[in-house]
Amino acid sequence: MRKEKEIDILIKAATKSCAVVEKTSNVLWTTEELLDAEAAGQFQAQDSINPPDGRVEVSGPFPGCMQQSASMTDYRPVGHTEHFVIFATPASGSSCSNELSL
């Protein structure tokens, strides 16, 4: 697996219209928030995109939000890093997983 900074992986995913959700908080991060995190020096460790597995506790980009539950089938996990889960979205289509080399 190719290693790069975790923040670079996340920014690339967000710019491809993927949903980037933090594992510990279940919060969906925007591209702008990820760029702010990069500027603040967060998530600088080397990481790689791991395939989705059953151990990931985040089930979607809107966990616990009943109003979004109908659209949840449109989101599918395509990978995860140490701190985030990456989901393909209706807007990203297959470009999310294809562009991220998953």
- The type of residue at 54 is G
**Predicted pLDDT of residue 86:** 92
**Predicted pLDDT of residue 4:** 93
Buried b (16+ CB within 10 A) or exposed e, 35-66: eebbeeeebeeebebeebeeeeebebbbbeee
**Predicted pLDDT of residue 90:** 74
Closest Cα to residue 16, out of 3, 34, 4, 41? 34
Q: Could you tell me the pTM of the whole model?
A: 0.80
- For 50-81, what is each residue's pLDDT tens digit? 888 766 566 565 555 444 444 445 778 889 99
Average pLDDT of the residues in 78-88: 91
Separation between Cα atoms, residue 92 and residue 17, nearest integer Å: 5
**Predicted pLDDT of residue 70:** 43
* Residue 86: strand, helix, or coil: strand
